[in-house]
Every structure is written in structure tokens, then in C-alpha cells.
Amino acid sequence: MNTIQVELGNRSYPIWVKPGLLSDLPDKLQIFNHGQQWVIITQPFLAGEYGSRLAEQLKANDFRVALLTIPKGEQAKALSRVESLYEDLLRMKCDRSTTILALGGGVVGDVAGFVAATFMRGIDYIQVPTTLLAMVDSSIGGKTGVNLPQGKNLVGAIYQPKAVAVDPHFLRSLPLRELVSGFAEVLKYGAIRDREFFHLLGKNMEILLSLGDDQMLEDAIARSCAIKAAIVSADEREGGMRRILNFGHTIGHALETTTGYNVLRHGEAIAFGMLCAGFISRNLGFIGSDEWERFRDTLYQLPLPELPSIDPEVVLETITLDKKVQAGTLHFVLLEEIGKAVVSTDVTEDDLLEALEIL
């Protein structure tokens, strides 16, 4: 088992990465069990596949467990849905000692984490991610959030879990598009922090997408988690270094918003956003043409869907609402080289529009 530590003083926590970890969870979580109410928050399909069995395993090990479900998709991240969860928790007589288990992908983690951050002014929660995207990204670092009609994750909190339990066996049930979405984020880590890792992923993407090598997959997940853990440990609240994790996200989030959230998977949108960011990096002279082409060709190893028709001006308007715009200035992540990212305030609206045209 790989164990990666997120170092945040008295709020530090482990990330466990191990195939088959779901079966070991009762033992791993015993150190957090003090007779309190545990609540698994998940989605209906996952409740049937994994949640009910996990609840029974925990009960057999002296946990008091209940299970709640939220709808699939971004509609679950509405404030009205969060209010319903608060009411469910109160109905179950949950209190400040209650612990939440977030069993699911990024939507479940975002919603369950936000509920944990705000219910009774904060209760414990543990992330059990079931998608690759959640395993390597959204479950780590404490970012929680829900959506407003104007944009994604505009209401939220940075609230760290007590642990993250990653079982790569969950990936066996995922459709290819979900794997592609996750590997876009895995490539992001190489692009911003580890050149050798990026090139290794490019050489083995076909094997990884087919889940054809368990050890290679576990190592790729663990390396991604380690990169994110190191960045979060150095800059928990995104005052500096952590901003590089937003590589591809400024345009990616805007594409998700303008296409209605249900057209593109998150990682697909981020892949398109990274292509735009790489293009701008080349145009502004941060990287050369050879580096840009190498980066672009590696991203295109992902079988991305055809992007629906977009209006660049509408996407640009959405970008102005992005959380990375501060005092009217956009903080945009570019590449100085593959493996090294930098935050720039020099990206103009014309640069963004030109990049959107390549999509």
C-alpha cells in the first residue's frame, strides 16, 4: 500500500492507495470510530454496487452507520440539494461528533465535503473516491463547493478530510470517458510539476486507458496524489504555489458552464483548457514551438469528444466570473516548460479568444 501524507500540522492526514482497499476500510477507519453516527453520502448506483455492502461491513465492526444518496450529475451541487441533506442529518439526530464518508466521484466529494464543512459549523469527513478524477484531484486538498447558475463551485470552503482512501479497483466499472477525464488530470500533474512523469504517461497512455497494468496504474495514481499533496502542504489556501493546480481550469470551467455541465466531463473540459493554455504559452514566448507540439500531441492521445459549437465571446464572459479573477486581474497558469508551470497576469482577452479559436 502506498501512503502519502498531506502535511498540514494538526490537520495532516493520510492518502492510502491500495487495490482492494474497500474491503479493508473497517480496519483502516477503526482509529476514527468513537461510537458516533457515521453517514455514507453517495449516489444511487454506487449505493447498490458498493455503499450498502460497505455499510454492512462497518456495522459488523461496531460502527453506527446510515446511508444517504444524492442525484447523479451537477444538479446535485445545487444549494437546494445541500439544504435537503442538512434536513436529513437533523432528522437522523446527527450532531458535531458525526462523521461523513463521501463515497463517489467529484460531485459526491464536493457536496459531502461542503456539508461536513458547514453542518454544526464543521464535522469530520473521509473521502472514498470512486473515479480516477476524484482519486487524483478533487478528494485531496480540502476544496469543497456547490454551484450557482452563474458558474461552478462559486460557493464553497477549504475544509480538509481526516483521510482519503483510494482503491483503484473502483476503476474497473468506469466507462472509457470517465477514465479519459481522470487521465487528463493525471497528465496535468506531469505538465505542471514532473516532466519525466508526463513523458512516461504519454508513452503508456494506451495501456493505462485499458487498465492493462495494475502496478503501472497504481504508481500513476500514487505519483499524482504525491504531487498534489506536496503542493497543498506548501500552500493550503491557494495564496501562491497551489494556483498552478488550476492549469487548464480557467477555460475548462468556462467550457463546462457555457455547454451546460452535462455535455463535457470535467476532465475533458480541462484537457481542452490545457490545450488552450499550452497554445497561449507558445504565443507569449514561454515555451517554444517544439515543446508546444510535444505537449499537444501527448494530450491528443486522449480520445477526447468533439467539442460542441461554442461562442468564444460567451466563454470569455464566463471567464470574467472565475474565482481566479482578482481585482479585475486574471491569474492564468502557463507552462515555462513541460514540468514547470507559472502564474501570469499578462494573458489578455485577445489571447483567450485566439486560443478558443483553435478548439
User: Do residues 157 and 132 touch, judged by C-beta distance below 8 A?
Assistant: no
SS3 102: strand
User: Do residues 185 and 129 touch, judged by C-beta distance below 8 A?
Assistant: no
Residues classed as catalytic? 121, 143, 185, 228, 238, 242, 246, 249, 253, 266
Nearest to 310 by CA among 357, 345, 252: 357
278: its cell numbers: 499550452
85: its cell numbers: 441533506
Nearest to 256 by CA among 238, 279, 242, 273: 273
DSSP conformation class of 259: T
CA distances from 271 to 38, 132, 151, 177 (A): 36, 15, 19, 12
Give the angle subtended at the CA of 180 by the CAs of 177 and 181, to the nearest 5°. 85
Beta strands in the chain (DSSP E): 2-6, 13-17, 37-42, 64-69, 99-104, 124-129, 143-148, 151-158, 164-166, 325-326, 329-330, 332-337, 340-344
SS3 69: strand
177: its cell numbers: 470517458
Q: How many residues make up the chain in this entry?
A: 359
